[in-house]
Amino acid sequence: MVKWQGMRQEPEKEVVVVESGEGVISRRATLFLSSVSFLLSIMFLSQNITGNVVANFSTNGANWLGGILFVLAIIGFLVYVQKSKKKKKKKQRR
């Protein structure tokens, strides 16, 4: 392609897309709940931090609760990543 000296090309303008409030709140809530679930799962899985004082759980009961909270945290983080990827794809299309 030959460019002429006298002609200037206009730079492409960047389009800014404002995201709806629901999408932002949904992603932030998912991230917050996942983080809280992860921290609670660590607390229940680590008997050195809580001992068996928390709600009179036995070691087995605290481990089960910690495991369930850990699985919920992982699922929440995956949902957050999926929502973030969808947001990025929408930006790339425009």
In a domain, 78, yes or no: yes
The torsion defined by the Cα of 23, 25, 29 and 35, in degrees rounded to 10, comes to 90
The tally of domains found in the chain comes to 1
| 74 in any annotated domain | yes
Tell me whether residue 8 is in a domain.
Answer: no
Range of 34's domain?
22-93
Domain-embedded: residue 54: yes
pLDDT in tens, 17-52: 556 677 788 888 999 999 999 999 988 888 766 565
Task: Flag whether 16 is in a domain.
Answer: no
pLDDT band at 91 (very low <50, low <70, confident <90, very high): low
